[in-house]
Structure 1
Amino acid sequence: MTTLTQENYYEDTNYLTNSRYKRYQQCQAKAYAVDKGDWVEERDETPLLLGNYVHSYFESPEAHEQFLAENGDKILAKTGKNKGKPKADFVIGDKMIDSLANDDGFGRLYHGFSEDDVQKELIVYGEIEGVPVKGKLDSVNLTRGYFVDLKTMKSIYSEEWNAELKQRVPAAVNNILGFGYHGQLGLYRNLLKQMTGQEFRPYIVAVSKETMPDKEILEIDNDWLDEGLDQLKENIVDVWNVIQSKQKPTACERCDYCRSKKKLGKVVSLTQLINN
């Protein structure tokens, strides 16, 4: 297997990442086509850029400067009265950064104390159900046995409907469960234990994208971590076999890629639509 480094981490495909796994969970056919270069995904990259904008600031000054150098043209407005100034999303990003940077509780958690061994962007790797898996952790306090994942969210407490739980929940709940962050943190905790032999406590620092950002330190209960990891274990071999071309990818028949391949034939009844 490849020896993973900061330089080759994102180019390496010998290990499966959580984000790649989630793409295959959404639609195997689309993810496989993207991997093979047969389909270019069109999506708004602003949320990802904003998340990385905030992340890089707390990684190190050098990492933030590199991010700005590589993405400055996407951050600054090209036209209008604000030409040359940060776009609105990144003005909010600066507020999110300031909210955390001026919070002593965040500083102690994310950066640790002077005597702590804290690693930023630590690469973890191992095997899940025989599949090689890797990940990158925002901040790991090896001295105190915990790691922190920084998540940017639309809101933390505004209420939303959750169809699975059949109740209204704070937006952070839908964010964590909808994006599978409980599985991601369960996976990272497992990989850390494989590498160190120790149990680590995972925390999420959530910061909202509101005009006045909200923030919380969130702990995911062990039951949710176990459930998320169990779901990954149930599907990871199937996903890996598709990636390795050992089995044919299945189509979700609902995404943009599947719609591009759709041909009319069967008739769909109203009842079928309702029950779909």
Structure 2
Amino acid sequence: MRELTQENYYEDKAYLTNSRFKRYQQCQAKALAVDIGEWVEDRDETPLLLGNYVHSYFESPEAHEKFLAENGDKLLAKTGKNKGNLKSDFVIGDKMIESLKDDDGFNNLYHGYSDDDVQKEMIVFGEIEGVPVKGKLDSVNVSRGYFVDLKTMKSIYSDEWNAELRKRVPAAVNNILGFGYHGQLALYRELLKQMTGREFRPYIVAVSKENVPDRDILKIDEEWLEEGLNKLKSEIVGVWKVIQGEKEPEKCGRCDFCRSQKKLTGAIKLSDLIGE
């Protein structure tokens, strides 16, 4: 396996990443089509840009300047009364940054103290069930044995329904469980352990996209970390076999790619639809 660097990390396909794995969880056929260039995803890149906008600021001034240089035109409004100025999404991004940058609790956790060994955008790698996996961690405090993932969320505490738990929960719960962040953090912890032989504590710093952003430090319970990692372990070998061409990809039947491949072959009964 080639050595992973900041320069080749994103172009490398020899390792599986958590985000790529999650795409295969959603629909193997679509994810493979995207990987081999047969399908181009049509998706709003604003949430990703906003997340990177906030992340790069807290990585370093140089990283933020590089992000602005590479993406500056995507952040500006092209039409309307706001033409030439930051789009409203990124005005919120500035408010999110302002809410965190002078918060001592955040700074001590994310940046550490003066004598701490803190590594930003640290690359971790290893194997899960024999599959090569890699990741990049926002902030790792090597001295104190923990790492931090900075997550931007629509809200942290707004009341939402969770179908799996069958009750109303704070929005952060749906965000973490819905996007599989508990599995992501458990994966990163495992890769760190493989690399260092040490146990690291994972934390999430959540900051909301509200007009007055909310923020909190979240700790994932051990049982949720185990549940997330076990789910990943149970599916990762099958996903890797699809990527390696050893297994035919399964279609979800509902995504845009599957709809594009659909052929009408018969009628569906209303009772069958209700049963679904």
Which TM-score bucket, shorter chain as reference?
over 0.9
- Which structure 2 residues correspond to residues 16-165 of structure 1 after superposition, within 5 A? 16-165=16-165
Query: Match of 2:92, SS?
Result: helix
Aligned residues: 276
1:219 corresponds to: 219
Distance (whole Å) between structure 1 residues aligned to residue 61 and residue 250 of structure 2: 44
Distance (whole Å) between structure 2 residues aligned to residue 214 and residue 270 of structure 1: 45
Distance (whole Å) between structure 1 residues aligned to residue 160 and residue 97 of structure 2: 26
Matched, 1:210 2:210: yes
Distance (whole Å) between structure 1 residues aligned to residue 188 and residue 111 of structure 2: 19
The amino acid across from 1:37 in the alignment is G
2:254 corresponds to: 254
The CA deviation at 1:88 is 0.1
Over the aligned positions, Cα root-mean-square deviation in angstroms equals 0.5
The CA deviation at 1:87 is 0.1
Query: Match of 2:251, SS?
Result: coil
The amino acid across from 1:99 in the alignment is S
Distance (whole Å) between structure 2 residues aligned to residue 275 and residue 210 of structure 1: 38
The amino acid across from 1:53 in the alignment is Y
Distance (whole Å) between structure 2 residues aligned to residue 84 and residue 62 of structure 1: 24
Deviations 1:168-215 (A, max 9, x none): 000000000000000000000000000000000000000000000000
2:235 corresponds to: 235
The CA deviation at 1:223 is 0.4
Distance (whole Å) between structure 2 residues aligned to residue 85 and residue 253 of structure 1: 41
The CA deviation at 1:259 is 0.2
Distance (whole Å) between structure 1 residues aligned to residue 139 and residue 258 of structure 2: 38
1:245 corresponds to: 245
Query: Match of 1:116, SS?
Result: coil
2:191 corresponds to: 191
The CA deviation at 1:274 is 1.5
Query: Match of 1:140, SS?
Result: strand
Structure 1 unaligned regions, length at least 5: none
Distance (whole Å) between structure 2 residues aligned to residue 271 and residue 229 of structure 1: 37
TM-score, L = length of structure 2 = 0.99
The amino acid across from 1:16 in the alignment is L
Percent identical = 77
Query: Match of 1:252, SS?
Result: coil
Distance (whole Å) between structure 2 residues aligned to residue 275 and residue 56 of structure 1: 47
Matched, 1:273 2:273: yes
TM-score, L = length of structure 1 = 0.99
Deviations 1:226-262 (A, max 9, x none): 0000000000000000001111000000000000000
Structure 2 unaligned regions, length at least 5: none
The CA deviation at 1:266 is 2.3
Distance (whole Å) between structure 2 residues aligned to residue 275 and residue 117 of structure 1: 55
List structure 1 runs of 4+ shifted beyond 3 angstroms: none
The amino acid across from 2:173 in the alignment is V
Distance (whole Å) between structure 1 residues aligned to residue 2 and residue 216 of structure 2: 37
Query: Match of 2:11, SS?
Result: coil
The CA deviation at 1:2 is 1.1
